[in-house]
Amino acid sequence: MVETNAGAFLLPGPVNMHPRVLQAMSAPAMNHRGPEFKEILSEIHGLTQYLFGTRGPVAVLSGSGTAGLEAAVSGLLRKQDRVLNLVNGKFSERFHELCQVFTTPTALSFEWGTAVDSGKVAAALDSGDFHAVTLCWNETSTGLTNPIAEIAKVVKDHDAFLIVDGITAVGGLENRMEAWGIDALVTGSQKCLAAPPGLSAVALSKAAYESLHADTSFYTNLKAHADALAKQDTPFTPAVPLFLAFREALRMLKEEGLDNRIARTRRLAEAARAGFDALDLRLFPDRRFASNTVTAVRYPTGLDDAAFRKELREKRGTVVAGGQGPLKGHIFRIGHMGICSFEDLEAGFQAFETTLARMGHITVR
Amino acid sequence: MVETNAGAFLLPGPVNMHPRVLQAMSAPAMNHRGPEFKEILSEIHGLTQYLFGTRGPVAVLSGSGTAGLEAAVSGLLRKQDRVLNLVNGKFSERFHELCQVFTTPTALSFEWGTAVDSGKVAAALDSGDFHAVTLCWNETSTGLTNPIAEIAKVVKDHDAFLIVDGITAVGGLENRMEAWGIDALVTGSQKCLAAPPGLSAVALSKAAYESLHADTSFYTNLKAHADALAKQDTPFTPAVPLFLAFREALRMLKEEGLDNRIARTRRLAEAARAGFDALDLRLFPDRRFASNTVTAVRYPTGLDDAAFRKELREKRGTVVAGGQGPLKGHIFRIGHMGICSFEDLEAGFQAFETTLARMGHITVR
């Protein structure tokens, strides 16, 4: 079906995996309670702390990013705890839904594509006794990065826990979790780390770790997972192949250097934004807060989402994501995190340009 | 470290995986919301129904067997519901712990290594208003299969839900879930199916499906998972490589034929029991209820568990499991499920015999 091999896999997750990572995953069965797996967990423990930039407790769960968010919320909070959910996109909206199951949440909403306003957060915290605040650091659905440092300062000033969805941020955006005062920071394996989907990781502040309880969850019991990893163990059978791939991806991150990866991701984002400017496509989010890991662009009037993405996929071997919720049909999104290269991005833009031209939306220059 | 390649990997899970399964797992990244993955989920839906022997609703979760158990318990029951937990080993004990988080459970305990007595179950159900009963069908920790058909009859007579941990049973033991009246049957990918660890599957009766609610869990929300699979979707990002491996393992099960696999597993178990008899080692469980998927044997007096398993592993390339909880040091356990062959078993027994002789516990004949 694909006419060319020059395409690019540019989803905002799962992202391209390196052959080293794929190969690590296909090892034969292993005793997950034996000495070999203990060594693997020990290495993962250290490398995950490196990824998060912390020396504090971390947990790795066999479950997607949502499992990590559930672990953080259900482990730190109780049903009666009041929580302020900062909502400005699909993923922060889901974070709010999750909090409805485990806590007593209030949503503070902002227009999709605009950033969370820390002044409004301060006002909301002044008006009520909130135990915690949740923030989706990088809103994958709108391609927007919220100003986490200033939001964190407001939350700390109000002495609440800050629980952060960093699923498409950690490993791709500058992260100072300890300096800023993040209490729980969650990521997923299939984003900036470029490992397969299926694992999530949670890093905790000392205060958060000391507040963990086990009243409202079992499989995602965060204390059990954090304590087990510190002893090179897991509370339940781990998804062994994913741990092997995760370790290899973490090794590759460390070989590149976290700061180098973040800088490369920023340069890729700048190139992507320049590319869309050149194609006369408009960014969806407020440009001042455009994400460095995910770029979301508006479709020109009359360009059909399904037809565009089908043509891209089938004729150009290029995979991008559409919009979600109210943005479905109005935007498309590309990821440029993980091991994404300038060549991948260039191949993607060649496909975009050709496809836009074939569909009559630009004149080939 | 291993002096011989003739060893065997005989854990009671994770079990050996076929090269086809390993290869399927190492495919490049894929759009989990695209048409290709929808086809994969459609095939998995049908093959999972085949595995369970049902035409009813099934769910596949990105999480270990414990995630599947949590999905069943938290989806079907509520905090105030009274539940009778049948406990006769480590895994039924953990099932009871899980129920403490989501329901109001009572344990009905039997000595480890003896079967659940359906007469006592009837008496317990007569004495209280129980909404559900949990059973660990095959107690992996003691190598014992509970008499599920007669227990199910008692539970049905009392009009309670029957929630079954079939993690080391489904695909290895004769299963008539609809005829017996099982309401929720849970399995794990890394046992009789011989896929990698990290996925669980849950099959539901019609009545159970209609009782599902979403009040006490989010990541393991069973209704969300079952409804999504019926529409070739998943509620959260799936562990894509594990789904690819799971599909391949299910295809291999269907190629062999479910009945053939169950019959082969029984013959392997008979061979294992005969082998231990020949080595003068005593089975741990009540022989009438000895499992066909896992065999647990007592150590002869004076044989050290750690030394035996280390020698087996390092000198004979053979991996078996020790005991758990109060059985630690007293028994070891082997699995003979999934794609385990008579050659695997023979290699294992050669390693057992040599190691027992080297450690002075038998005379080589």
pLDDT tens digits for range B1-43: 444 456 899 999 999 999 999 999 999 999 999 999 999 999 9
What are B15's strand-pairing partners? none
Task: Name the residue among A196, A219, A241 with its Cβ closest to that of B63.
Answer: A219
pLDDT reported for residue B7? 87
pLDDT reported for residue B3? 47
Q: Cβ contact (<8 Å) for B218 and A101?
A: yes
For residue B36, the number of C-alpha atoms closer than 13 Å in the C-beta half-sphere is 14
Q: Cβ contact (<8 Å) for A11 and B28?
A: no
CB neighbour list of residue A338: distance below 8 Å, 6 or more residues apart: A15, A16, A171, A172, A191, A192, A193, A194
B318 vs A: CB within 8 A: no
A47 touches A199 (CB < 8 A): no
Q: Which residues from B are below 8 Å from A216, CB to CB? A: 101, 216
Q: Quick one: residue A206, left, alpha or beta (phi over 0 = left, psi -120 to 50 = alpha)?
A: alpha
Chain B (184-203) residues lying within 8 Å, Cβ to Cβ, of chain A? 188, 190, 196-199
Q: Cβ contact (<8 Å) for A63 and B65?
A: no
Single out the residue of B188, B196, B168 nearest to residue B337, CA to CA. Answer: B168
Report the C-alpha gap between B82 and B78 in whole angstroms: 9
Amino acid identity of residue B57, one-letter, is: P
A54 touches A61 (CB < 8 A): no
pLDDT reported for residue B362? 79
As given in the structure block, the two tokens for residue A205 are: 């502040």
Distance from the first to the final alpha carbon of chain B: 27
DSSP assignment of B295-344, as one string?
A: EEEEPPTT--HHHHHHHHHHHH--B-EE--GGGTTTEEEEE--TT--HHH
Residues A118-135 as b or e (16 or more Cβ within 10 Å = b): beebbebbeeeebbbbbb
Report the C-alpha gap between A336 and A16 in whole angstroms: 10
Q: Testing the interface with A: which of B98, B99, B219, B339 to mutate, by most A Cβ within 10 A? A: B219
Report the C-alpha gap between A189 and A242 in whole angstroms: 9
B237 touches A69 (CB < 8 A): no
Task: Name the residue among B14, B217, B240 with its Cβ closest to that of A196.
Answer: B240
B249 touches B17 (CB < 8 A): yes
In the A/B pair of chains, how many CB contacts fall below 8 A? 175
**What domains lie within chain A, and their CATH numbers?**
19-256 (3.40.640.10), 258-358 (3.90.1150.10)
Render pLDDT for B319-354 as a digit per residue (tens, 0 to 9).
Answer: 999 999 999 999 999 999 999 999 999 999 999 999
DSSP B167: T
Q: Cβ contact (<8 Å) for B29 and A14?
A: yes
Task: Name the residue among B27, B63, B196 with its Cβ closest to that of A67.
Answer: B63
Instruction: Assess whether pLDDT exceeds 90 at residue B156.
Output: yes
Report the C-alpha gap between B347 and B355 in whole angstroms: 12
Report the C-alpha gap between A68 and A202 in whole angstroms: 6
Q: Percentage of residues in chain B with pLDDT exceeding 70?
A: 98
Chain B CA closest to residue A167: B237
B32 vs A: CB within 8 A: yes
Chain A CA closest to residue B16: A29
How far off is chain A from B119, nearest CA to CA, in Å?
Answer: 31
Single out the residue of A150, A242, A159, A173 nearest to residue A201, CA to CA. Answer: A242
Instruction: Assess whether pLDDT exceeds 90 at residue B113.
Output: yes
| Cis status of the peptide bond prior to B57, with omega within 30 of 0 | no
Residues B43-69 as b or e (16 or more Cβ within 10 Å = b): ebbebbbebbbbebbbbbbbbbbbbbb
Read off the pLDDT band of B106 (50, 70, 90). Answer: very high
- Each of the 365 residues of chain A gets a pLDDT tens digit; together they read 444 456 899 999 999 999 999 999 999 999 999 999 999 999 999 999 999 999 999 999 999 999 999 999 999 999 999 999 999 999 999 999 999 999 999 999 999 999 999 999 999 999 999 999 999 999 999 999 999 999 999 999 999 999 999 999 999 999 999 999 999 999 999 999 999 999 999 999 999 999 999 887 899 999 999 999 999 999 999 999 999 999 999 999 999 999 999 999 999 999 999 999 999 999 999 999 999 999 999 999 999 999 999 999 999 999 999 999 999 999 999 999 999 999 999 999 999 999 999 999 876 55
Amino acid identity of residue A114, one-letter, is: T
Look up the ipTM and state it.
0.96
Chain B (68-107) residues lying within 8 Å, Cβ to Cβ, of chain A? 70, 97-98, 101-102
A9 vs B: CB within 8 A: yes
Render pLDDT for B249-281 as a digit per residue (tens, 0 to 9).
Answer: 999 999 999 999 999 999 999 999 999 999 999
Report the C-alpha gap between B292 and B273 in whole angstroms: 10
DSSP B32: T
A26 vs B: CB within 8 A: yes
